[in-house]
């Protein structure tokens, strides 16, 4: 039992919760995402959206950890990570749907 590791995990968990709260508010207030495509096109778009998730974990997290330290870097990364998959990528999908004519322009 390493207290530093436990504290580092705690900072990551707090960051995930903060990211969830912020992203959920943003998504429900301004984005209001609804699934537009069914079938293989929608699955392919979602799989393409997973690529930045993997790249963030492999390349962006070490940058934040080296810039802010292990605790704060993990906290900031967790906030950004949760915000990406709860609010930012659904916003991108909504914009794709809007420009492809699948969604009403008023929404």
User: In this structure, what token pair is assigned to residue 62?
Assistant: 């070490």
User: How confident is residue 105, by pLDDT bands cut at 50, 70 and 90?
Assistant: very low
pLDDT at 10 over 80: yes
How far is 24 from 98, CA to CA, in rounded Å? 21
Write down the pLDDT at residue 107.
46
46-73 per-position pLDDT tens digit: 889 999 999 999 999 999 999 999 999 9
Structure tokens given for 82 = 């949760």
95: its two tokens: 């914009």
Side-chain-side CA neighbours of residue 40 (13 Å): 0
pLDDT digits (tens, 9 = 90+) for 18-42: 999 999 999 999 999 987 667 787 7
Contact 81, 18 (CB under 8 A): no
């Amino acid at each position: 039992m390493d207290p530093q590791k436990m504290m580092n995990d705690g900072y990551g968990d707090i960051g995930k919760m903060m990211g969830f709260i912020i992203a959920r508010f943003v998504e429900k207030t301004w984005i209001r995402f609804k699934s537009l495509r069914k079938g293989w096109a929608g699955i392919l778009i979602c799989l393409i959206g997973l690529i930045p998730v993997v790249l963030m974990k492999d390349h962006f997290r070490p940058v934040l950890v080296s810039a802010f330290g292990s605790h704060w870097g993990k906290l900031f990364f967790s906030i950004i990570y949760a915000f990406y998959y709860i609010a930012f990528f659904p916003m991108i999908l909504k914009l794709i749907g809007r420009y492809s004519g699948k969604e009403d322009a008023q929404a």
